Amino acid sequence: MHFSALIAIGWLYVTILMSLSQPTVLAGLSTLLFYGLLPLAIVLYIVTTPARRRRRRERESGREEPAASRQGPAS
């Protein structure tokens, strides 16, 4: 399991318990949203950006190589 997934699971566990201890349902939902889901989504987006860029570059370079090999030898 990736380290970032382990951190995400732990963070969600804590924020779910925090939201369950709130006095009203609205306070619980807002705690879950603003302390749990929204910050976690932002952090995971930032942390996984290098991997997404690397995969995109690999896909793009994989598309270019077959096109170059189709041209055949220069005459």
From residue 1, alpha-carbon distances to 8, 14, 51, 63, 64 in Å are 11, 19, 15, 30, 33
Tell me which residue of 5, 14, 10, 21 sits closest to 35, measured CA to CA: 14
The residue ranges of every structural domain in the chain are 25-59
Per-residue pLDDT tens over the stretch 4-29:
788 899 999 999 999 999 999 999 99
pLDDT in the model for residue 44: 87
Res. 74 pLDDT band, cuts 50 70 90: low
pLDDT at 70: 53
What does pTM read for this prediction?
0.67
Taking the CA atoms of the chain, what radius of gyration do you get in angstroms?
22
